[in-house]
A and B are shown apart, each in its own frame.
Chain A
Amino acid sequence: MLGLYPKAAALAQGPQQVALAPTDFIRIAPNGIVTLTAKNTEIGQNILNTLPMLMAEELDVDWKDVRIVRADADNKYGNQFTGGSTATPANWVPMRQVGAAGRHMLIAAAANTWGVAESECSTASGRVHHKTSNRSLGYGELATKAATMPAPDFRTLKLKDPKDYKIIGTSTVSVENKDIVTGKPIFGIDVKVPGMLYAVMQRTPVLGGKAVSANLDAIKALKGVKHAFIVEGRPLRSDYPNYLFEDPGFESGVAIVADSWRAAQSAREKLEVKWDSGKWGAQDSVENAKKAGELSKQTPMRTLRQDGEVEAVFKRADVKALEANYMIPFIAHGTMEPQNCTAHFKDGKLEVWSTSQIPQPGRTATAQLLGLRESDVTVHMVRGGGGFGRRAYNDIMLDAAWISKQVNAPIKLVWSREDDIQHDYYRCGGFQFMKGAVDKDGKLVAWHDHFVAYGEGNAFAHDGGFQPGEFPVRFVPNYRVQSSVMGLGLKTGALRAPYSNSTAWVIQSFIDELAHAAGKDPLQFRLDLLATTPLPLGQREQGLDAARMIGVIKLVAEKSGWGKRNFPKGQALGVAFHFSHRGYFAEVADVSVAANKKIKVNKVWVAADVGSHIINPSSAETQVQGAVIDGLSEMI
């Protein structure tokens, strides 16, 4: 069931395949109020509701009787990875199993109390019923006994028939809405610990650079400043690591700790640092673009997939060939809440308040950095003001923990907006040099992509490579994707829908160019392409199901009135589709271009197929609306 994004899917499945204990997730008070533990990070996707909804459904309780608490980072909760669009699908089965196991234990307690067979008992709205004797007991009355019942083997549990769902598929508003609209201190940046100091960090402006010296004495003399010191940092384990797990990076810089954030931040204006900028000090984005152009003219370094004979088709007289080049910029995540983390090192133990999307690896990395046992590190999960992948990187947890240990006090490290943009794990840039050909019937017969990316040898920069199986591979008889790489001294990472957020634009734009060259309606051109019998999938490739994609394209065509509407000059509809992270999406945009070339997007229709169930329609709708706006913002 874990489909497309192979790396994230693998991460979400393991390493911790632990047996979940229902009692770690479910607590029931004597009055029947059920407290469920939400184990994943809330960053605006409403996972705080989603996973408890799954448990509540199978536990068979009313949503109004549910209360929710956040988990700390702890392997007993299974994998708490919140990224790669996996938090919901990876937990769809286990969270329902936890709820069903809890229900099973409550039934066992009731059957034991009454001396009847479990099979004669049923449940509804937080009560166990024995119909034949007309008896019933509330979950609150059974909870103590139920907790002593053995947890059933999850594999033996029978889950509800979807037609009986009462919670799954029903919109629930975020349990934190009231706290949000009344300004309660619920975000990472709001955390307060008694005796807490405030920290800022001036990090090396270049990846791999080092702070050699700084006017620390002058800084320490400033009002409010308590500590100022150089952080040596640690070299990366490789030039292009997977920053999620191999190493989030512990960079060199200067830490300033003061009695207020304002004092610490103001002190930076007086800070003078001598940097050794290391091997990337002279890198230049204009030079990189120039180099990409040169590489595009040379023989590509690697061939990632090849079908048929692309070059032979381009030489044919009866095809129309065209070229297009696409430049993918680096993009920072720009979460509304700047990165921050609160850490308290005391007596050899560390307590952390974090908005991390992957708190467990953060806990591991932090323990290693400080030379602690993992059991001596407690990571509390706090609501994050937006994630989009940025909070999947635990660099700020390392910094905060290190600073707290150095000053032996609780500290809150808060980045300025400038820090946040300068020290991001950017959506990796790249260059795609495309060539395609359509035959005299308007059929796409050849597709060539020379992807000039960043990396070295066979290694691409983190999340800056090419996704195996990316459409239109398998659907074009003569297809070739090749790559060349050049060096990069920037941290790169996952931005909402990694890979897709750049390749969808490149591929769908080029398909549009080819449709125009073929003289075909761009929507019909896409349907024709998907109607081709696909070639087999290669190793490690994840492919789309053409029938499902055709389904969403036809739906969006119908809803948008594709081909049936007349527009004034300068206004038209455009279409695109993409398969990403197990989801099938097709969109139509109504766009106007003014005489001065100013573009206005008037309306966007989205058709989506994300599987058998929408768990919380309210959240699903708002995620789609937000994603469209996010996409437009990245493009314009």
Chain B
Amino acid sequence: MIKLKVNGKNQQFDGDPEMPLLWVLRDELDLKGTKFGCGMGLCGACTVHLNGKPMRSCSTPVSAAANATVTTIEGISPDGSHPVQVAWQELDVPQCGYCQAGQIMSACALLAKTSKPTDADIDAAMNGNLCRCGTYLRLRAAIHKAAEAMPAKALVKAEDKPATKATRSGARLLPNKK
């Protein structure tokens, strides 16, 4: 029996301890925000935080997360109000959007460590997160924008305390008809 805390909630898993954390999150806990891209830790789409550090959940066995704290994209904020998520929406960063959960997880980890990153800091920290659509320019701009919106003190608790509220003046999408 493996115990772990995911997005502040205690969870346990009694299946194959070698099962990659990615599939425990997606198919056992139904947290579909973390994405399967390559299964080999090469693309970064599956990035989550393990005890606050970014890691590739597709190539990490769930046993490595025993008694650890895991944060996924769903745990960054309940409503998209984290400054990184706000900047992402306002600068219209996503194209297809598939890699963006991983990008955001890496960006949050960077900002928790480096409150005002330079372009070089961003390039280095985000290097392992591929975007097939090529959103790199906007992604970099959004990290700078989020850094400005995040008071240095709030950074430590960024994940529990959103600093600004998302503004949405445009059209919205309705769920698919069933």
Contact = CB atoms under 8 A, between A and B. Distances in A.
Interface of A: 35, 43-46, 48-49, 52, 56, 63-70, 72, 171-187, 189-190, 192, 198, 260-262, 334-338, 380, 382-388, 414, 416-417, 618-619, 622-623, 625-630, 633
A420 to B, nearest CB: 9
A261 B28 CA distance: 11
A336 B170 contact: no
Contacts of B93: 177
Which 9 pairs between the two chains have the least Cβ-Cβ distance?
Answer: A183-B33, A385-B98, A44-B96, A629-B134, A183-B73, A626-B134, A44-B95, A185-B32, A180-B97
Given A68-B174, A181-B104, A386-B98, A622 B138 contact: yes
Contact of B88 (A64, A68, A181): A181
B79 interface: yes
A260 B43 CA distance: 23
A261 B133 contact: no
Given A386-B96, A627-B134, A67 B171 contact: yes
B77 interface: yes
Contacts of B34: 183
A174 B92 contact: yes
B177 A72 contact: yes
B74 interface: yes
Given A184-B33, A260-B23, A626 B95 contact: yes
Contacts of B30: 192
Nearest to B92: A173
Interface string B17-40: 001100100010011111111111
Given A68-B172, A68-B174, A336-B43, A174 B132 contact: no
Contacts, number: 186
A488 B46 CA distance: 36
B137 interface: yes
A64 B170 contact: yes
10 contacts: A44-B96, A180-B100, A182-B33, A183-B32, A185-B32, A336-B132, A337-B98, A385-B99, A625-B138, A629-B134
Which of A172, A174, A183 is most buried by chain B, counting CB atoms within 10 A of its CB? A183
A68 B76 CA distance: 26
Given A67-B171, A182-B80, A173 B96 contact: no
B136 interface: yes
B104 to A, nearest CB: 6
A629 B136 contact: yes
Q: A interface, by DSSP: helix, strand, loop or mixed?
A: mixed
Which of B92, B172, B173 is most buried by chain A, counting CB atoms within 10 A of its CB? B173
Which of A64, A182, A185, A337 is most buried by chain B, counting CB atoms within 10 A of its CB? A182
A177 B35 contact: no
A607 B98 CA distance: 28
Contacts of B170: 63-64, 66, 172-173, 175
B135 A626 contact: yes
A337 B32 contact: no
A196 B43 CA distance: 28
A387 B104 CA distance: 22
A612 B38 CA distance: 41
Given A175-B172, A336-B98, A336-B99, A417 B37 contact: yes
Interface of B: 16, 19-20, 23, 27, 30-40, 43, 45, 72-74, 76-77, 79-80, 85, 88-90, 92-101, 104, 130-138, 166, 168-174, 176-177
Contacts of B133: 44, 336, 386, 622, 626
B89 A380 contact: no
Which of B23, B35, B135 is most buried by chain A, counting CB atoms within 10 A of its CB? B35
Contacts of B176: 69-70, 380, 382
Nearest to A178: B80
Which of A178, A186, A334 is most buried by chain B, counting CB atoms within 10 A of its CB? A178
Given A63-B171, A67-B174, A181-B85, A262 B98 contact: no
B140 to A, nearest CB: 11
Contact of A189 (B23, B35, B73): B35
A628 B135 CA distance: 11
A619 B77 CA distance: 26
B128 to A, nearest CB: 14
Contacts of A43: 96
A484 B48 CA distance: 51
Nearest to A186: B97
B168 to A, nearest CB: 7
A190 B33 CA distance: 8
Contacts of B95: 44-46, 386, 622-623, 626
A176 B97 contact: yes
